Structure 1
Amino acid sequence: MSAGLPPLIAAYKGPAGPDVLTFATRWRGASGRPVRVVTVYPGSAPVGRGRVDAEWVAYNRHEAESILDGARKALAGTDATFEAIPAESAPRGLHEAMEAAGPGAVAVLGSRTTKGVRRTAPGSTAERLLTGAPGPVVLVPWDYEELPQPQVQRVSVAFIDTPDGRAALEAARAHAAEVQGSVDVVSVLPDTLVRPSLGEPRRFAEGQREDFAASLAEAVLPGERSRLIEGPVVEGLAGLGPEDTDLLVCGSRGYGPARRVLLGGVSARLLRHARVPVMVVPRP
């Protein structure tokens, strides 16, 4: 297990809180990365020029500490730390917590209710945090705590030979090494590729498949697994289940601020359908 790693910042609040704690402790068990459980509460309430309703702030802090008591009970006997963070919004508080923790900190958030289906579904906090987070963000499926996996060790990565795809692959390898786990490099051959108006469509499709397969083979290192799935892309990646992997890593959109998460079309749609925890990594 690794020492001196930045923390997993587990956003604990609401019915998804136990799912977040379960994922964080499983990762902690595999790597030794510390767990910092946080909940964000409104930190100020202006009532006039230069004045703040101190009683309102104290009430919100008390409520936040009450929420954290549930996490303290669930993680009793561990070395997890707990903090109520005052901020103007939950995404802002989590963003600031990640920046304060330094490079490499990972935020872990739960999903909103998915009507009994164990899939990822970002709520408003996750969606807003994922528009510029300073580090990786993991979204855990609803009801994840009921899954039997004891640790996070099988790491899959959605790969395409682009800068953001290579950044995702690099991040997946780093996290797999941290948990002493395996890497599975997954590429999806889209079913929406352009077909020629002239010539032989079947031969053209075979050539496209050969290009994807060659790119995948070139990316994979000895000891890593690979798989080429037929599209559609989102459905192909969302088809990966707990029997296949413990964590799916994907990249950010290929433009926007450097070293920030910025969801692209595929990653945004994947986060609404995945059956396993999904990590979105900042663009290079």
Structure 2
Amino acid sequence: MSTAPSPLVAAVKGPAGPDVLTFAARWRGASGRPLVVVTVYPAPAPLGAGRVDAEWVAAGREEAERTLDSARAALAGTDATFRAVPAASAPRGLHEVLEAAGPGAIAVLGSRDAKGVRRTAPGSTAERLLTGAPGPVVLVPWDHEEDPQPPVRRIAVAFIDTPDGRAALEAARRLAKEVAASVDLVSVLPDTLVRPSLGEPRRFAEEQRRDYEASLQAAARPDERVRLLEGPVVDALADLRPADADLLVCGSRGYGPARRVLLGGVSARLLRSARVPVMVVPRP
């Protein structure tokens, strides 16, 4: 018996809401996943101040409903579900929604305004959710709604032959199958000042390149493309453009609780400057 696909959970609040809805609607159209639009408002405090607390909660609820009304207008004609969720904090509310949605649910969040630059920049909610989320989290660049939105065609994965790199590759393959997209395996030849103490530096660099290329080719399937970039790792990945990929998938760091998102050094810095939506997947 087939099971229903896990949902996209689009978190909307503030100016980044249209960016989130643009990405979520595009992905929902390509994949057929259910779309759940969520906004979180403050829940009553356990020891509230009576009438004052009730009025504060009511005001938060009204603001949440206005946010959802705007989302309904933006997604007119779709069968999305809209939810206002009371919680002690936005990250906690989203975490609970993801837990309830079950394995495979994907959270989609927007970026804060980083001086008008169309790159990813996590706000406080994204930063906290990206530490322990029970499923993949997508961060959409600021002003993403202004970019042309062609069909979803290419998924890139930041690949290195480690458990978290292989987990990212498997996640990218599942997503590509879901939306009928191609997969590009992308590695970066580090721009490092480390040199061998013995031997010829040029030969060392050539051997390093061959090792990286061999690792990519060994991991790739016949219908997948490989790309070996050069330069600082984060800068090279962050400069991938919408023409290069519709989504960049990367892994979590290699320690901590299994099946939870945990930002490593590369993923944390990448999320502060990427030009395309970035998905961080839980560690295996």
Fold shared by both chains (TM-score > 0.5): yes
TM-score for both structures, normalised by structure 1: 0.96
Contact 1:44 1:52 in 2 (8 A): no
Match of 2:173 in 1: 173
- Give the paired residue count: 283
Match of 2:8 in 1: 8
- Taking the TM superposition and a 5 Å limit, the aligned residue runs for 1:49-64 are 53-64=53-64
Match of 1:256 in 2: 256
Match of 1:122 in 2: 122
Measured after TM superposition, the shift of residue 265 of structure 1 is: 0.5
- Taking the TM superposition and a 5 Å limit, the aligned residue runs for 1:131-280 are 131-192=131-192, 194-280=194-280
For 1:104 and 1:283, how far apart are their aligned partners in 2?
13
Match of 1:35 in 2: 35
For 1:255 and 1:52, how far apart are their aligned partners in 2?
45
Contact 1:135 1:281 in 2 (8 A): yes
Identity %: 80
One-letter amino acid of the counterpart of residue 226, structure 1: V
Backbone CA RMSD of aligned residues:
1.7
Measured after TM superposition, the shift of residue 51 of structure 1 is: 9.9
- Taking the TM superposition and a 5 Å limit, the aligned residue runs for 1:83-94 are 83-94=83-94
For 2:147 and 2:48, how far apart are their aligned partners in 1?
50
After superposition, the C-alpha distances for 1:216-271 in whole angstroms (9 at most, x for unaligned) are: 00000011111101121001101110111100000000111100000001000000
Match of 1:26 in 2: 26
TM-score for both structures, normalised by structure 2: 0.96
One-letter amino acid of the counterpart of residue 142, structure 1: W
- 1:53 counterpart SS class: helix
Contact 1:152 1:246 in 2 (8 A): yes
Please, which runs of 5 or more residues in structure 2 have no aligned partner?
none
One-letter amino acid of the counterpart of residue 161, structure 2: D
For 2:271 and 2:175, how far apart are their aligned partners in 1?
20
Question: Structure 1 residues 240 and 3, CA, compared in 2 at 3 Å: closer, same or farther?
Answer: farther
Contact 1:47 1:53 in 2 (8 A): no
Question: Structure 1 residues 50 and 149, CA, compared in 2 at 3 Å: closer, same or farther?
Answer: closer
Is 2:78 the partner of 1:78?
yes
For 1:164 and 1:173, how far apart are their aligned partners in 2?
14
After superposition, the C-alpha distances for 1:28-51 in whole angstroms (9 at most, x for unaligned) are: 111111110000011112446999
- 2:235 counterpart SS class: helix
- 1:122 counterpart SS class: coil
Contact 1:46 1:53 in 2 (8 A): no
Measured after TM superposition, the shift of residue 198 of structure 1 is: 1.7
Q: Which moved more, 1:115-124 or 1:166-175?
A: 115-124
For 2:57 and 2:118, how far apart are their aligned partners in 1?
36
